[in-house]
Structures are given as C-alpha cells and as structure tokens.
A and B are shown apart, each in its own frame.
Chain A
Amino acid sequence: MSDETSTRQPERVEPVREQPTPDGPEAAEPAPEGRERAGAFRFLRAILLPVLAILSAFVVGAFIIVLSDAQALGLIGTDPGAALGRAWSIVIDSYGALLRGSIGDPGRLFGALLALDWNGVKAAFNPLSETIVSATPLIFTGLSVALAFRVGLFNIGAEGQLYIGALLAVIVGFAITGLPWFIHAPLAVAAGFLGGALWGFVPGILKARTGAHEVIVTIMLNFVAYRTVDYALKTEFVQREGRNDPISKIVLESARLEPIIGGLRAHWGIAIAVAAVIFVWWLLFRSKWGFEFRAVGLNPRAARYAGISPSWATVMSMVIAGGLGGLAGASLMLGASHTLTPGFSPGYGFDGITVALVGATRPAGVLGAALLFGALRAGATPMEAATGTPRDLVVVIQALVILFIAAPALVRAIYRIRAERSLGTEVFARGWGS
C-alpha cells in the first residue's frame, strides 16, 4: 500500500472525525461560524455523557455517605428534619473537604497573596500540586489503556506494566552512578518504558500468535509482576543496605524528576505525561501506524484485506501501551517516591481503565479525566482527615463512574436523553470464546 492511499483513507474509515482541520476537503463545506458552532456543539455533546455520569456518581456517593452515617440514620425516626439537615451537612462537608484537598482554598490563596506571603501562596497551591502528582501516572496508564482500546484490545495489565516499569526505572536510577542528570534521568525513564513494553509484549505476542485472550493474560501478568517486585525487593542487589523490610535502594539525585517548583511535590513527570498525550494523539490520528491500529480495532478482517497485519498491530500496540504503563511506574519512582516498596501503587493501572473510558479513548479526554481522578485521589486523604468520611469513597465513586459510562443507556434513562447514533466506541472487547 502506498503512502498516498493510506493518508487518504482515514476519511472513509473513521466513524467520527476528531476535529475539523483548517485545510483539506472540508474547506468548501459550511460557513466558518456554522462550523465553529457545530464543533462546539459536538464538543458539548461529547462531554455530556461523561459529565452526567460523573455527576450521577457523586449523587449516589452522597447517598452512600448518608446511608452509612449512623447519626443521620438514627435521627430519621425521631426527627426527620434534623436527619435531613445532618445528611446535607455531612455531604457538603465531605465533598467540600474533597474539593479543598484537591484544588485548594481560594480564601487562603487570596489571603496569602494580599499578605505577599510567598510560602503561603505555595502552601495554597499544594492541593493542586498533589492533584498533579496523582494525575501524572493516571495520564500514562489512561493512555496505555486507551491506545489498546483503539486496537480492539483490553489492557487490564497497566498495573503490572507499571510495576515492572517502576522496578527497572529504580534499578537504573540507583545502579548507574556518575552520569549527569540529563543522561541519567532520561535513561531511567527509558528503562521504565522498556520494562512496561516487555510486559505488554507478552500478551501482544500471545494474542497474535496463539489467540490467547489478552484480558486473561494481562490479569495473570499483573500478579506475576507483583510477585516479581516482591522477589526483587528481597535480593541483595535491589534491597536497601541494612534493611530487613522490602524496600529498594534510593534513586540517585541525578536520575530524579525534580519538582517544578521547589517545595511542591508536582514534578517534571507531568511534562513527560503531556508530551505522551501529544505523542499518542499524533500516533493514533496523524501517523500511518495509528491509522493501521485503528483500522484493526474497527474491523480486523477489513484491515487484513487492506494489507494491514492485525498481528503486527496487536503486538506493536501492546508494546507501546505497555511502555506507557511502564512510564507511569517510572514517573512514580523517579518523581514522587524515589524508592520502591511492595504495593506502592494504589491501583493507578486499574484507574487507567476508568480514565480511558471517561476520556472516550481520546488522548485529550484522557488528560482531562486523569486530572479529574487525580484530584479525587489527592483530595481523598485530606477528606478522611477532616471529616472522617473514609477515603474509599472515591473508589466507590470511581466504580459508579465506570458503571454510568459503560452503560450509557442507564444515564440516558435517568436524564431522558435521546439515544444518538452509536459511535462504535461503546463495545470494546469481545468475549474470550473466540
């Protein structure tokens, strides 16, 4: 297939165009303002369901807060009014604390600005910085899952890829000495990518060669990854000197991703993450490989007929997806914790699935969704500290978001929205019978 045909074909295969390009065939189509309005409308339409899904999840979450509160329940019998008041106040308190823990307190920020207290301003930005810290790995894992989705693959293994990526990044981070930072840090990041890529290659090649379902293989590989890390942390090479508990040596200064602003934890990993967003967008929608990936994802038979090898696309996309998962681990190790412990990830790999679904498998959507869920993660602990509402609430909310996103019919039924044409992105994986 020549390059010329491959660049022209996306117009026909792709079900929804991402955005109108300024030049090209559409130039002769509707007037500029009309097109702009259509674009804005399409954007609103695209985010309508995710927004409603998130909203619904928070509403159900509020019910869970109230129904689990013994005091509010106890008041229902005696004083319904007070029960309602109590219910209202704990929900507002909890969600308020969640918001303050993830975005910050505007009052504090203004106060610090007026007092010209630089440290105060920094402290006011701390919640936002924590959100970015949590969002960074989520962007990577979200991209990992989203990329695989586009090729018709369900990558449940981002968590395992993250673990192996973290392991390799840490090893390169402490074992190689005497390098300047501009070589060492990229090297450690690359090691993370490589580790994840290896962990993605296995399900990819097995799927392509033997048809083994990637969901089963990636679930199993997650556990193999946990045990591998457990094992590595016991070896003399990785375990920190003089320690008996499983903890790795510390990543050297030269391999670290430094904080963007001193004193805040948000680190340069976010820049790599944003670059990854742009790269995946370019890969999927502007490169020949991406076209082939999406063609295989939409219809492997048609893709094969067009001369694209589905096996190749499967392996290659899983390698890249795995590598992105590995980058998540690398960013955690090199940017945030600088040392590896078992169970260091609170499920960022699995959150990646939620992020990819909420972001509708679009790179920009993934970025937005990752920031949202990063905010939830960042705000959860302060919320528990301030109000006593357990931080696991955000896990429940996240589950509900998945539910409402995955079952758009449910959301449509609740809000009485007319069903629109299927965008072809609602059903991703097939059963494992085939």
Chain B
Amino acid sequence: MTAIAAAPRSLTLAERRARTRQRVLGIIYLVTAAVMVVGFALPVGDVTSTFTLNLGGTAITVPDLVLPSAATGYLLAGAVAFAGAIQLTRGFGARWALVLGGVAAAFVFGFLVWVAAGQSMNLTGVLQSTLQRSVPIVFGALAGVLCERSGVVNIAIEGMLLTGAFVAAVVGSVTDNSWIGMIAAVLAGGLMAGILAVLAIRYRVDQIIAGFFINIFATGLTSFLAVRWLAPYQQELNRPEVLGAIPIPLLSEIPILGPILFRHNIFVYFLFVLIIVIHLGLFYTRWGLRVRAVGEHPKAADTVGIDVYFVRYRNVILGGMVAGLGGAFFTIGSTGGFEREMTAGRGFIGLAAMIFGGWNPIGSFLAGLVFGFADAVQSRLSILNIAIPSEFLLMVPYVVTIVVVAGLVGRTRAPAADGKPYVKE
C-alpha cells in the first residue's frame, strides 16, 4: 500500500451506501453461518441424511445421496462464514449477487440436510413438486411483467387467475373438452384484463383501485356463480377432465432432471415456452423495445410515433390472457373442479415473484421457483414430523419481497412510468 492510496478521501454518497450494504451483507452471512451451526449442525447426532434421487420410471437409476448430517452442516456453515468474512473485509464487487445466491443455496441445503437427518427424503420429488407449485405463481408473475413493463400496475393477477380457473372448469365440463376450456380461460383472463385496461388507460382510474376492483369482482362473481350454478349441477358443470402429464420422450428419461422438468402436463411446457418467448420478445425485439419505452418514458415513446395507448391495451390484455391460462391450471391442470377462492392468494405471490424477479420473465421464474420450493418443503415437513412451524416457510415469499422492495439487500426497480396514467397532449 502506498501512502497515496492510504490518504483519507471523502467518499461519495453512493460509495458510502455501497460500503454499508457490503458490511450489512457480511454480517448477515456471518449470522447465517452461526444459525446454521447452532440450528442445523449441533442438534443432530451421529446420523446421516439420505436423499433419494429416483422418482421411478427412469431407465437409469441413481444411487441415493447419503451425507453425514453434522459434518455436512459444519462444512456448509464454514463455507458461508468464509464468504461472510470476505464480504465484510473486501467485498465481492460485482459478483455479490452470485455469492448471495450461493449463500442462500448453502443455507437451504443445510436446512434440508437437517430436516432429513436420520431419515430419508426424496429430493427429486421435492424439486418436482417445487416446479408444480410454482406454475400458477410464475404464470401470474409473467402476466404482471407484461402489464407493468408497459406501465400499468397490475395487482389484479389474483382475480384473473380465479376467473381463468372458473371458466376453464365450466367450459371444460360443458364442452367435455378441456382444451376448449383452456382457450375459454385465456379469453376470460383477457376480458378481465380488458376491463382493467379500460379503467386504467381510458378512465385513468387509480390503477391500484382498478386492480382491487377486479380482484373483489372476480372473487364475488365466481363465488356467487359457484353457489348458484356449480353447487346444484356439480356433475354437468364442474367435472372437467384433468389434462394429464405428458412425458417428453427421451428427455423424461434423463435421471433426476427428467422427472423434475419433463414429466408434467401441458401447462408446464406452455410456461417454459412463454418464459422464453416473453424474455426474447421484451429484450431482443422491436416489440419489446417499444413496450419498455412506453413503460419507462411514455412521452418519449409517443414523440417517436409509438401509440402509447395501443401498446398498453395490448400488453395488459396479453397479460390477462397469460393469467387466464395460469388460472386454468388450478382446475383442468391439477384438481379438476372449481372451488370458491381456490387460488388462495397465489396471484399475490405471483405479484411478489414479479417484484422479486425484478420485472423480468426469467427473474420471475426463478423467484417463483424459490417460492414454490418453500411451499413444497413446507408440505413435506409435516410428513417428516419436523418441529418447525410450516407457517414460517409459507411467509418466505412475503418477507423476501418486503426485503427486496425495501432495498435492504439488493434492490429491484420498477419501470419508471409504472402506474402513471399517460395523458396525450
């Protein structure tokens, strides 16, 4: 170190903030490591955690993963503590997000090792149900991305999912064809979004209130009709055929990955396609550039001849159609019949996933997986007889979202004009 470098230099505000965040993160890592030692490694005795990796059906079987519970716990905690020490002293620079992800993964894996201590857990099964549970969340999040990238706040995802679920069940039953039910659900979602679009764009109603209206309206109307129509005619109106799993030839035979990714029903494959299409569309096409321009700076977009209203109408309705498809998953994609308020807040978790995922299709997908994972693990805990309250795992999506919007760790940024009505001059 030379004297020049050591000379005191006043830091700019941004640098000071970055340094504070670096230290906060470092301390969080160290605390995490301590929690892992005290919580996961110390309490377990001389036992092993067994992770089954086979889910049946694949030609090649993989041996079970057997780990010494305590040693693995200490190892993971040590790695996290090491990361924390580096973070605290010199930081990871631009790679901080990667390290954060690694620490989170280590924590989660340590948790699973602890849960499975002395028992056996089907890891592949957990991961498969993770994807399964994240499907409606990610559909909702993608719907939100489409809307909000064009500058219209969408808290009505829940209502659109519910509408999709209802319409898919009813139309699927009446026509005796779940594919028609699916299409109807997509259209119904689009219709709900159309109402939101008219209110938000044409009448410039506060977009949060407009979305709130859609949610209550969808909840009330579907519950009303469920009592009025579905209850007396359960057999005729609420018995759609469930679209079964379609294993993809060859791919579904891959050990571990095959069962996790390629043995689902059509909704999951649609989801994969949509994520890729929306991602490429938003960031690599003229269409996406226009959408983002409208969402960030509608006036500038208008000046260069982009029809702001048209782009917003189109995107909100497209988003609603995606949400309608996601809603159809609740009925014709999993349980069959419609029940009142069956989406149970998934739309809001989708909203959370969109925010956590930084208003990005792929980010939303990853966030949705995280939330789906928390849900999947939570449902396993009761089977494994673990004394941890599942409520805390169910809180994960919400707490994570609050942390992210508050910028306590990293911050995601909404499109600049999100929620602001545009008035053409």
Contacts and interface: CB of A to CB of B under 8 A. Distances in A.
Interface of A: 64, 68-70, 154, 156, 202, 206, 209-213, 215-217, 219-221, 223-224, 227-228, 230-231, 234, 350, 353-354, 357, 384, 390, 392-400, 402-403, 406-407, 409-410, 426-433
Interface of B: 151, 153, 155, 199, 203-210, 212-213, 216-217, 219-221, 223-225, 227-229, 340, 345, 348, 351-352, 355, 389, 391-392, 394-395, 397-399, 401-402, 405-408, 413-420
A392 to B, nearest CB: 4
B224 A395 contact: yes
A390 B223 contact: yes
Given A228-B391, A231-B389, A396-B224, A402 B398 contact: no
Contacts of A398: 216, 220
Nearest to A215: B208
Contact of A221 (B205, B208, B398, B416): B398
B396 to A, nearest CB: 10
B62 to A, nearest CB: 36
A431 B148 CA distance: 10
Contacts of A428: 206, 209
A69 to B, nearest CB: 8
A431 B414 CA distance: 9
A432 B359 CA distance: 12
Nearest to B348: A219
Nearest to A227: B391
Contact of B418 (A202, A212, A217, A433): A433
Q: Is the interface of A mostly helix, strand, loop or mixed?
A: helix
Interface hub of A68, A384, A407 (most chain B Cβ within 10 A): A407
A213 B407 CA distance: 11
Contacts of A403: 199, 213, 217
Contacts of A426: 206
A220 B352 contact: yes
Contacts of B408: 210
Contact of A156 (B212, B217, B416): B212
A426 B209 CA distance: 11
B348 A392 contact: no
A212 B407 contact: yes
Given A221-B402, A407-B203, A402 B212 contact: yes
A429 B413 CA distance: 18
A432 B405 CA distance: 10
13 contacts: A68-B224, A206-B405, A210-B405, A217-B406, A220-B399, A221-B398, A223-B397, A353-B209, A393-B220, A393-B224, A407-B210, A431-B207, A433-B420
B205 A431 contact: no
Given A70-B229, A429-B419, A431-B418, 13 more contacts: A212-B407, A220-B352, A223-B345, A353-B209, A354-B216, A392-B220, A399-B213, A402-B213, A407-B199, A410-B203, A431-B151, A433-B417, A433-B418
Contacts of B219: 392, 395
Nearest to A69: B228
B411 to A, nearest CB: 8
Contacts of A206: 402, 405-406
A227 B395 contact: yes
A210 B212 CA distance: 25
Contacts of B418: 431-433
A94 to B, nearest CB: 12
A230 B224 CA distance: 27
Nearest to A426: B206
Contacts of B151: 431
Contacts of B395: 223-224, 227-228
A348 to B, nearest CB: 13
B220 A217 contact: no
Contacts of A384: 227
Given A220-B401, A223-B345, A402 B155 contact: no
Nearest to A217: B402
Q: Which 9 A-B pairs have the closest CB atoms?
A: A431-B419, A395-B220, A390-B227, A399-B217, A396-B220, A220-B398, A399-B216, A392-B223, A231-B391
